[in-house]
Structure formats: structure tokens, C-alpha cells
Amino acid sequence: MPIMRTIAFYNLKGGVGKTTTAINVAWHAARWKHRTLLWDLDPQGAASFYLGVDDGAGYKAGAVLKGKQPMGNLKRETRWPLLEAIPSDLSLRNADLKLAETGRGQLRQLVAPFGESYELMLLDCPPTLSPVAESIFSAADYLVVPVIPTHLSLRALEQVRDWLDSKKLKNLELIPFYNMVDRRRALHLDLLVKRPPIMRNGLQTWIPYSTHVEQMGDHRAPVAEFAPHTPAAHAYRALWFELLDRIKL
């Protein structure tokens, strides 16, 4: 049994593509026969929506965090083989407080037993630098960070890096990549051609700005399913393979 890799899709900035990337990566992972579990840690529940597990059926995540239910009860099948999900639910709103009380190791403990059943655990994170984020970081092996090629987004990435350094989370590998790239914009092109130092350890693959990504909401599916022969679909596929190589699965 291979060791489970836990990847958190994170950025302290909102709306940069954490959820859409998590969904497309999850789909590819399952498609390439890796048993995958995506945990929607964002109370907004966007990942649960895309995966069709947002109907409120099943157990409440809050009860699990309080230790009233075993974690395994929370997972749901999706319509894709080998891809299962833990839906977000609103009781997770209280998780911030709960995790702050119990310390940052708790999520790691919750995640650990899944290692027997899954090769990949993907965490779709809310945009915050709260105790929840800290708990997520201690549970993850890799932090995949979508970055829009602008100076402000790069600054946000530096903040994340500095924060990780200050918390001495050394086992966590920071993997940024560019998302929503518009090559008609001079700044995007500049930052792509001459990568700033903080991006050099990131993925080479970048995801273009694409209406097909926006259409995921209409289809409730990853791009590869409804627009397979498009630049966005090709980019996500390349991103998956580059990530796969990086995490040595």
C-alpha cells in the first residue's frame, strides 16, 4: 500500500481558482486509477456542488470534528469511479473555533486513518489564514497555490510563505502555479517569461483564462468531461502530470 499524499489547494486570496483546480486534479487522479478523496473544507461548499454531493444527505461534519461520529461516515461516492468526497456542510462554520481549541494537530489525526483506503487526499481550503488554515497546513504534505500573474497575487504568495516559515512547517512543500493567464496582458506575459524567484519552485504548467473553466458550474463537471479538446482541458491534464511527478505517487 503506497503512502497517502495529502495536497491542500490553498491561497489566502479568494476567487483565484483553488476549488476549480482541486476538482480538475481530483478527476484526473481518479481517471488515472488513484483512489482519491476530496475533502471540501470550505463552508461555501463549491467543491461539493461541482461533485454533486451538496444535497445535505449524510452526516454533519461538525459532529465529526466534535468526535461524535467516525470520519469514515462522512465520505460520499461521486459519479466518478475511485473519486469520493467529504462534503462541506454548514456546521463546519464552527470548526474555526473548534480547531482553535483543540490545537493544530487535530486535522492531521482526522486525515491519517484514510491512508489505508486512499492514495490521494485533496483538501479544498477556504481563503483564510486562521487556525483552520494552520490545522490544514499541519495535515498536508503539499500546498498547491493558484496565483494570478499580478504583483498583488505574488505578494499574497510571499505572505503565505513567510507565514509558513514563521510556523516552522518544514514538511510542507509549497507548490505555486499560475492560473487565469491572459497572454494579451503585458504583465501576465512578463511574469510568465521571467518568473519571479518565489515562482521558480512552482509548476511550469499554467492554466489559461478560459470560459470553459467558468462553464464548469453549468456542467457540474471538470473541463475534460464537457470540453476535452480545449486549451484549458489540456492545461489541467498537463498540470496533473506535472504534479504527479512532483509528489512521486
Ligand X SMILES: Nc1ncnc2c1ncn2[C@@H]1O[C@H](COP(=O)(O)OP(=O)(O)OP(=O)(O)O)[C@@H](O)[C@H]1O
Give residues in contact with ligand X (CB under 6 A): 14-20, 42, 46, 127, 179-180, 207, 209-210, 213-214, 216
Residue 117 Cβ, how far from ligand X at the closest point, in Å? Answer: 26
With CB under 5 to 8 Å by kind, the binding choice for 15 among ligand X, Mg ion, none is ligand X
Nearest-approach distance from CB 149 to ligand X, in angstroms: 12
3-state secondary structure at position 49: helix
Non-local CB neighbours of 126 within 8 Å, separated by 6+ positions? 41, 42, 43, 44, 132, 133
Residue 105 or 241: the one with the smaller Cβ distance to ligand X is 241
C-alpha 221/C-alpha 144 separation (Å) is 21
Tell me, residue by residue from 35 to 54, as one string, x for binding to Mg ion by CB under 5 A and - for no binding.
-----------x--------
Q: Report the amino acid identity of residue 249.
A: L
Q: Which is nearer to Mg ion, 13 or 31 (CB)?
A: 13
Out of Mg ion, ligand X, none, what residue 17 binds, judged by CB under 5 to 8 A for its kind, is ligand X
Q: Which does 20 bind (CB under 5 to 8 A by kind): Mg ion, ligand X, none?
A: ligand X
Identify whether the C-beta of residue 58 lies closer than 8 Å to the C-beta of residue 84. no
Q: Which CB, 25 or 46, lies closer to ligand X?
A: 46
At 84, which helix (H) or strand (E)?
strand 83-86
Q: Which residue stretches of the chain are H helix?
A: 18-31, 46-51, 61-65, 95-102, 106-111, 131-139, 151-167, 186-193, 211-214, 216-219, 223-226, 231-247
Site for Mg ion, rule CB under 5 A: 18-19, 46
